Structure 1
Amino acid sequence: MQFHHHGYVSGEPRVLPAQGTGVDRPADLPDETDVLIVGSGPAGMLLAAQMSQFPDVRTRLIERRDGRLVLGQADGIQPRSVETFQAFGFAERIVAEAYNIGWMNFWGPDPENPGNIVRTSRTEDYGFKISEFPHLIVNQARVLDYFAEAAHHGPGRIVPDYGVEFLGLTVHDTGEYPVEVRVRCGGDDGEERTIRAKYVAGCDGARSGVREAIGRTHVGAMAAHAWGVMDVLVNTDFPDWRTKCAINAEAGNILHIPREGGYLSRMYIDLGEVADGDNRQVRHTPLEAVIQKANDILHPYTIDVKEVAWHSVYEVGHRVTDGFDDALDADRHPRVFLTGDACHTHSAKAGQGMNVSMQDGFNLGWKLGHVLTGRAPEELLSTYASERRPVAQQLIDFDREWSSLMARKPEEISDPQDLATYYLATAEFPSGFMTQYEPSMIVAGDAHQALAAGFPLGRRFKSAEVTRVGDGNAVHLGHHARADGRWRVYAFADRDAVGLASWADAVAPLFARYTPADGDVDAVFDVKAIYQQGFDEFEITDAPELFLPKVGPHALTDWEKVYAATPSAWCRTDIFDERELSRDGVVVVVRPDQYVAAILPLDAVDELGAFFAGNLLPTS
């Protein structure tokens, strides 16, 4: 990581200097704020961490609870989420404490004794097959802790305002702070007051008050199937207790997921079809009955439950909200947004709820930051709903199929390997890597896609190893990017780098047009060069000035923007080959949320200018 560029740092470098609203941040909730986040779940906490990187924007987060979440319901962390953690600076630490899913085993009825279960297959988990990041299990509460730390350590110094309940809101047609939000502070008998905001993000869960206030509704239905779920400490003779398992038995089904810490595990236990007219009584199934059901399914193995950290009974629901913001027509820009469970709900067994919710927050955060700091026009905010609602619908469709496969009876299964086959065949979707945004003001057309076939437009930037020329170290190109609200521009050189030098000279005025005069030259665009030569075949000081910017109050040279692609003793791959990049050179533009926005040849400077003219505002 880079630090010292704004002066010597002797303490924790992850704690960035307070700026803007982070300096002397008011402890009490103000009457007016730019962004009000309602709810401190995964989407809300990521959104707060992102907004902390925009310290000139006043952001507050209110949460009805009195303090941090203790027992989180979600626990599955997909590789795309770990990639996101990398951008927020805590991937290494959370990986160290998490359970890494290396394998998934499948169990079914013993053909010779169907009342018993036997292992039918063992598959490698998909995590490292499609990403350098693992597939993890870790308590949602810990994920929120890390994002809370990132929000507090960011320049904006954002901390949640606990004990504040959302009561309702009204969106007015005029005024600098058009969203009037009613809240109650300090419990049921607390003070009611009004806060005015420019924008509100509803991150308040499946029973969202924000969703109700803007007149949006969930579309979908509950499936007539119930599941019990429990986090347990047990003694057992089941040999795969520390391996993720899908268990299909005559008595029902279990999805078994080991948890972090070496001892805790989560079990999703099939409670069967819900009778007509049940009126949700199945949700009152006693814990003892759920444990007995688990033992029935596991036969001939048993679990002796010593402690239950958390448990619940739920019916599978598949719902997506009819809109993700309050713009019911095209006559005005949205002011209120919905994220996470407030706009999509589904079963927990596909491990998608927390992951998709975090990407909602990531998508929305940088857009709010850009609009409120004057970098981008308000039209940008309309892309949140147009991009995220199709993703939610795809999730609902995937989860419906996965849940149906998990709930089958043995006699409904013709091939005992088909669940394992489906699990691996669909790996890219649950990993979070199938999201592909359509062309818009922030995703260019595909006229030049062939120049960088390995970086599909609208998909997240898939990193690869390169050699950092300044020190000869092999690093992942994408891992240098942080969730700091900046655009990334990767300039892959032509063979002799002559075209790259011409490009650098031509685009410098373009980037300066959108960069604040009082900011670092790379405050908006983080521009990097990747040469085809070996790192030891040229001098870094021969690179154009664009790739050696002077930053900070001392105008220090940033030596970490020039890379080489030729394999070396430490870097075994060539990114040009790995990502099918044109040897004539190509420019890959990546959004602040890590999605590929444009692909252009080196001589298409006018096209690059037109692209940014469509989504950014020049500085005054």
Structure 2
Amino acid sequence: MQFHHHGYVSTDPRVLPAAGVGLDRPEELPSEIDVLIVGSGPAGVITAAQLAQFPGVVTRIVERREGRLPIGQADGIQARSVETFQAFGFAEQIIQEAYQITEMAFWKPNPDKPEDIVRTAVTPDDPNGISEFPHLIVNQARVIDYFNEFAERSPARSTVDYGYEFVGLEVAEEGEYPVAVTLRRTAGEAEGEELVVHAKYVVGADGARSAVRRSIGGSLAGDQAFHAWGVMDVLAFTDFPDIRKKCAIQSEDGGNILHIPREGNHLFRMYVDLGEVYEHDNGKVRETSIEEIIDRANAIVHPYTIEVRNVAWHSVYEVAHRLTDRFDDAHSYGEAPRCPRVFLMGDACHTHSAKAGQGMNVSMQDGWNLGWKLGYVLEGRSPVELLETYSDERQVIAKNLIDFDKEWSTLMAKRPEEFDSPSQLEDFYVSTAEFPAGFMTQYSPGPLTGAGVYQSLATGFPIGKRFKSAMTTRVADAVDVHLGHHHRADGRFRIYAFADTDGVAIDRWADWMLRSPDSPVQRFTPLGADIDSIFDIKAVYQQDHHQVDLGKVSKLFLPLSGPFQLVDYEKVYATKDGEESIFDARGVSRDGAVVVVRPDHYVATVLPLSATKELGDFFAQFLTER
């Protein structure tokens, strides 16, 4: 963490100096807003948190509730999300309070006594070490709290405006604030009063019954499995031995349970199979009482018993898989192509079962994807066409999620005799671990993603996939750090320059970046801004840190920043002594390579150190010349 470079700080250094709209943020909603976000769930708050790093952008997030969410339905936090939390500065704190999943136990009917269940397998949760971060369970409400704290500490000082319900919107053909949004107050002395605000862009993060989606003529299409589940968060006394492990439980009569321990060491969640639902049930199954859910759970876990002593929350739902026909208002059938003004994300776009723990995790990536792009366009860093990439990138990911969840939820509902092999469920869980963990996302070639011509120079950083961190040693202070952990959600691109063996090529590349009028630094850094305001450029040397002389390192990697123009010593890294070199661990060529990473952690392109023109041309596709 860097601080003091704007002057001595004796208070919490995570609270950044207010700037721009954060200097005098009005309590009431202004009549003109750059970005209006509807809904304060995970998708909405991460979007607001990212935009809070752009102090020139007026962002407001409205929520119809009167205050903070006390309890959320989602609780599974995949490792990719924890990487995201690291970028927003709260991974360590949330890990401390969360439950960590390290194994999953599988229980099935005892062959010798089928009315009883018996443990048949235990599999590691992350058998391949796909992330240095763990798989967590923590209440969605706490995730929202942490993002809101980040936004409140950011330069724009963003907070949620509670007590506003979205009524409708109209998009004008022209005007600086073309989206007229009607809101209704849901609390306070003015409850019931309607008001109209005008926005440049609107983000619908208002759930599966999204009113924003309806307002742009969108719909959710898909199928329903006609299978119901009761879910309960409970405190209970039980003799079930794996009560503090994630479990998939199958009983003789076909009933199943997905059991998930919760944070705090006592609470746990059970998804209890309520069986097939009659096609014309008309929602009657949702009237199933908590007592019936508990009884069904006890029947499934026999010979063990569960004595529920407190119910924190429970619900009944039917499995459905639905995907919206559009992620923004520019993808309406029959209309002429235009730049979008209204965007959808999270459950407003994709709904599915809760079994794979994907809803909140994928929704947050929706929000981060769009958040930095809106910031770039509104601050003039990129042309408006950048916003078209949101739908192009995220709609494919949502479709992949729906397809995966169909397979997983179908397996979870099968009877024991219906499986192709006795170990089919656990085999599927292990073989597909990378997908639910959030690491199968790979954006296709486009303006923000290179074609992969030079992928062989860094095979461990696949273009279009998230940047997988590795251990290095920071040269200036000999501290061992994960290279990717300094990639914070500040809206900057990261450019990692992996040095050649003798350092000649990286010196030549750095000199070009510093001095050539064709370099991205010279072309796209705003006049008067710090040299690293758009691009955070780091050098990674092949040698041990003792063999790297900071006095000979290019000034590109020792930039001056802040009002006192102080040297930033956190840009130069070396191979960690005694461990596998990052060059070997990530398949980086010993001739060197340049790895460009987007603000949302995804690898944008890989180039040789000699490909300077290609680097400049890549950024010219979506950045505005200064």
TM-score, normalized by length of structure 1?
0.98
The match for 1:320 among 315, 320, 323 is 323
Matched position secondary structure for 2:366: helix
Q: What residue ranges of structure 1 are gaps of 5+ in the alignment? A: none
**Distance in 1 between the 2:323 and 2:4 partners?**
46
**Distance in 1 between the 2:107 and 2:242 partners?**
10
Partner of 1:212: 214
Matched position secondary structure for 1:129: coil
Does residue 568 (structure 1) correspond to residue 571 (structure 2)? The answer is no
Amino acid paired to 1:498: V
- CA deviation after TM superposition for structure 1 residue 414, in Å: 4.1
Q: What residue ranges of structure 2 are gaps of 5+ in the alignment? A: none
**Distance in 1 between the 2:573 and 2:420 partners?**
53
Equivalent residues in 2 for 1:498-577 (5 A)?
498-508=504-514, 509=516, 510=519, 511-565=521-575, 567-569=576-578, 572-577=579-584
Partner of 2:108: 108
Partner of 2:89: 89
Partner of 1:196: 198
Which sits farther off after the overlay, 208-217 or 414-423?
414-423
Partner of 2:299: 296
The match for 1:452 among 449, 455, 458 is 458
Whether contact under 8 Å (1:75, 1:137) holds in the other structure is yes
**Distance in 2 between the 1:11 and 1:498 partners?**
44
Amino acid paired to 1:68: R
- CA deviation after TM superposition for structure 1 residue 276, in Å: 2.6
**Distance in 2 between the 1:113 and 1:70 partners?**
44
Equivalent residues in 2 for 1:270-285 (5 A)?
270-285=273-288
Partner of 1:618: 625
**Distance in 1 between the 2:336 and 2:236 partners?**
56
- CA deviation after TM superposition for structure 1 residue 512, in Å: 2.5
The match for 2:235 among 224, 230, 233 is 233
**Distance in 2 between the 1:126 and 1:232 partners?**
27
**Distance in 1 between the 2:44 and 2:201 partners?**
14
**CA displacement 1:103-139 (0-9 Å, x = unmatched):** 1000000101111100010111117721101000000
Does residue 435 (structure 1) correspond to residue 441 (structure 2)? The answer is yes
Partner of 1:583: 590
Equivalent residues in 2 for 1:174-185 (5 A)?
174-185=174-185
The match for 1:469 among 470, 475, 484 is 475
Please identify runs of 4+ aligned residues in structure 1 that moved more than 4 A. Answer: none
**CA displacement 1:497-535 (0-9 Å, x = unmatched):** 111011011122421321122321100000000111111
**Distance in 2 between the 1:440 and 1:371 partners?**
18
Equivalent residues in 2 for 1:14-53 (5 A)?
14-53=14-53
**Distance in 1 between the 2:426 and 2:241 partners?**
19
Matched position secondary structure for 2:436: helix
- CA deviation after TM superposition for structure 1 residue 79, in Å: 0.3
Does residue 242 (structure 1) correspond to residue 244 (structure 2)? The answer is yes
Partner of 1:186: 186
Does residue 424 (structure 1) correspond to residue 410 (structure 2)? The answer is no
The match for 2:375 among 369, 376, 400 is 369
Amino acid paired to 2:40: S
Count matched residues. Answer: 616
Partner of 2:261: 258
**Distance in 1 between the 2:150 and 2:336 partners?**
36
**Distance in 1 between the 2:191 and 2:68 partners?**
21
Does residue 143 (structure 1) correspond to residue 150 (structure 2)? The answer is no
Matched position secondary structure for 1:155: coil
Whether contact under 8 Å (2:65, 2:186) holds in the other structure is no
**CA displacement 1:7-44 (0-9 Å, x = unmatched):** 11111011111100011110001111000000000000
- CA deviation after TM superposition for structure 1 residue 413, in Å: 2.5
Does residue 411 (structure 1) correspond to residue 417 (structure 2)? The answer is yes
- CA deviation after TM superposition for structure 1 residue 417, in Å: 1.5
Whether contact under 8 Å (1:441, 1:615) holds in the other structure is yes
Whether contact under 8 Å (1:120, 1:416) holds in the other structure is no
Does residue 595 (structure 1) correspond to residue 602 (structure 2)? The answer is yes
**Distance in 2 between the 1:612 and 1:535 partners?**
31
Cα–Cα, structure 1 residues 234 and 217, in superposed 2: closer, same or farther, change >3 Å? same
Partner of 2:339: 333
Does residue 55 (structure 1) correspond to residue 62 (structure 2)? The answer is no
Amino acid paired to 1:425: S
**Distance in 2 between the 1:247 and 1:518 partners?**
62
**Distance in 1 between the 2:172 and 2:573 partners?**
51
**Distance in 2 between the 1:130 and 1:446 partners?**
22
Matched position secondary structure for 1:581: coil
Whether contact under 8 Å (1:466, 1:573) holds in the other structure is no
Amino acid paired to 2:529: G
**Distance in 2 between the 1:179 and 1:222 partners?**
34
Whether contact under 8 Å (1:79, 1:134) holds in the other structure is yes
TM-score, normalized by length of structure 2?
0.97
Q: Percent identity?
A: 62
Matched position secondary structure for 2:147: helix
CA RMSD of aligned residues (A): 1.0
- CA deviation after TM superposition for structure 1 residue 330, in Å: 5.2
Matched position secondary structure for 1:119: strand
Amino acid paired to 1:301: Y
Matched position secondary structure for 1:460: coil
